[in-house]
């Protein structure tokens, strides 16, 4: 029984990381209509930046995290302004290909700037063990879960109450009409990319604290695709939950079946779910009036 609880809890923790990245994916999809294939690479790049900062400022964990988050804001703005905005109005397929190119460039760039070997990200915090009843959790795992919960609550309030959040939903629903109302789609896109880079960066840091920093960190991006498809590509909150479900399913499959099943468990779950709900668990159906 304890084994089951342990598996579920650590599944939730890794799922929280998938969930954060998946929320970023959904945020970009919702406001720009694009699947960003470089989401995992953005997480990887920020993790590397955090690792470099940790080397420069040993003993200042919060400065490291703060600096990495500033870097992710810059990264999000730069990608939107320099790469995505010139592609505005081009076919979606071409733009998605650009995100794939960006992914490859970021991956190769990380290997060029740093090196292809795994490094431990040690900022002095996040390694301690917290006991929840009989289940032990590392601080970084707990922090990932809490961050996901905060992000879920924050985005819920943002979309419901804030002016920019409502405008983001309006741009998603009909960007031409939004323009006619005086909403600048470009500004909304910039905000979406920035927010998405920040939560991807947080996820990358948590992942690096729990495992290590290496170019393979982008694999978490691959895992978050099923999460966002499961939750609904246009549902930011659903994607967060989707990540948790994928994480738990993966861990249970790995713990009870075989570790080789673990990698594909998430994808099996989405095939099963999409057969029943093609728009994802929390995705919006198109409103059609007859």
Partner 1 sequence: MNAGTLEIRNLQVIYGGAIEAVRDVSLKVEPKQIVALLGANGAGKSTLLKALSGVLDDEEGTIESGAITFDGHDLAGLKPVDIVHRGIVQVPEGRRLFPSLTVDENLDMGGFAATPAQLTERRTVVFELFPRLAERRKQIAGYLSGGEQQMVAIGRALMGGPRVLALDEPSLGLAPIVIDLIYDIVRRLNRDLGVTVLLVEQNAQRALGLASYGYIIERGRIVLDGPSARLVGNADVREFYLGVTGADRKSLREVKHYKRRKRWLS
CB of 284 to partner 1, least distance (A): 6
Q: Counting contacts by CB under 8 A, is residue 157 touching partner 1? A: no
For residues 163 and 275, which CB has a smaller minimum distance to partner 1 in the complex?
A: 163
Question: 256 vs 4, 262, 265, CA distance in Å?
Answer: 9, 10, 12
Instruction: Give whole-number Cα distances, 40 to 88, 137, 225, 257, in Å.
Output: 23, 24, 10, 27
Q: Is residue 270 within 8 Å of 230, Cβ to Cβ?
A: yes
Other CB atoms within a 10 A radius of the CB of residue 269 amount to: 20
CB 69 within 8 A of CB 229: no
Q: Single out the segment in contact with partner 1 by CB under 8 A; choices: 70-78, 94-102, 162-170, 273-281.
A: 162-170
| Among positions 184, 264, 271, 277, the unique one binding partner 1 when judged by CB under 8 A | 184
Calculate the dihedral angle through the C-alpha atoms of 269, 146, 239, 81, rounding to the nearest 10 degrees.
Answer: -140
Interface residue with partner 1 among 85, 119, 138, 169 (CB under 8 A) is 169
Beta carbon nearer to partner 1, 131 or 287: 287
Q: Using CA atoms, how far apart are residues 5 and 18, in angstroms rounded to an integer?
A: 20
The CB-of-190 to partner 1 minimum distance in angstroms stands at 14
Among 16, 183, 198, 199, binds partner 1 (CB under 8 A): 183
The site that binds partner 1 (CB under 8 A) totals a number of residues, namely: 20
Interface pick for partner 1 out of 73, 78, 170, 252 (rule CB under 8 A): 170
Q: Which of residues 84-113 bind partner 1 (CB under 8 A)?
A: 89
Which C-beta is closer to partner 1: that of 113 or that of 177?
177
Rounded to whole angstroms, the Cα distance separating 65 from 39 reads 19
**Any contact of residue 166 with partner 1 (CB under 8 A)?**
yes
Of 167, 230, 233, 273, the one binding partner 1 by CB under 8 A: 167
Among 14-22, 127-135, 149-157, 176-184, which window interacts with partner 1 (CB under 8 A)? 176-184
**Smallest gap from residue 169 Cβ to partner 1 (A):** 6
Residues 270-289 that bind partner 1 (CB under 8 A): 284, 287, 289
Kindly tell me which of 114 and 156 has the beta carbon lying closer to partner 1. Answer: 156
- Minimum separation from the CB atom of position 89 to partner 1 (A): 7
Is residue 139 packed enough to be buried (19+ CB in 10 Å), middle (13-18) or exposed (0-12)?
middle
Q: In this structure, are strands 129-132 and 135-138 parallel, antiparallel, or unpaired?
A: antiparallel
CA distances for 142 relative to 39, 64, 137, angstroms:
23, 19, 7
Provide the strand spans (E) within the chain: 129-132, 135-138
Residues 6 or more apart whose Cβ sits within 8 Å of residue 262: 250, 251, 253, 254
What is the three-class DSSP state of 262?
helix
Stretch that binds partner 1, among 77-85, 179-187, 222-230, 237-245 (CB under 8 A): 179-187
* Shortest CB 74 distance to partner 1, Å: 25
Q: Site residues (CB under 8 A) for partner 1?
A: 89, 163, 166-167, 169-170, 173-174, 176-184, 284, 287, 289
């Amino acid at each position: 029984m304890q084994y089951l609880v342990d598996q579920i809890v650590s599944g939730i923790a890794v799922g929280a990381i998938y969930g954060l990245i998946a929320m970023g994916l959904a945020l970009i999809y919702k406001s720009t209509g694009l699947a960003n294939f470089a989401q995992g690479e953005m997480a990887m790049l920020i993790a590397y930046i955090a690792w470099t900062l940790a080397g420069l400022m040993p003993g200042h964990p919060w400065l490291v995290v703060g600096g990495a988050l500033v870097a992710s804001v810059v990264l999000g703005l730069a990608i939107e302004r320099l790469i995505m905005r010139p592609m505005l109005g081009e076919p979606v397929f071409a733009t998605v290909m650009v995100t794939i190119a960006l992914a490859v460039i970021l991956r190769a760039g990380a290997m060029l700037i740093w090196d292809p070997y795994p490094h431990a990200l040690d900022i002095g915090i996040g390694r301690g063990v917290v006991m929840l009843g009989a289940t032990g959790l590392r601080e970084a795992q707990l922090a990932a879960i809490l961050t996901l919960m905060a992000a879920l609550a924050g985005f819920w309030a943002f979309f419901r109450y804030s002016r920019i959040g409502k405008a983001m939903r309006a741009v998603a629903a009909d960007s031409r009409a939004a323009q006619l109302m005086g909403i600048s789609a470009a500004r909304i896109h910039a905000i979406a990319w920035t927010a998405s880079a920040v939560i991807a960066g947080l996820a990358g840091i948590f992942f690096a604290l729990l495992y290590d920093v290496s170019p393979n960190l982008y694999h978490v991006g691959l895992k978050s695709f099923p999460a966002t498809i499961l939750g609904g590509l246009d549902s930011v909150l659903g994607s967060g939950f989707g990540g948790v479900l994928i994480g738990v399913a993966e861990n249970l499959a790995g713990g009870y079946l075989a570790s080789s099943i673990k990698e594909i468990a998430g994808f099996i779950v989405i095939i099963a779910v999409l057969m029943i709900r093609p728009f994802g668990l929390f995705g919006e159906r198109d409103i059609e009036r007859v």
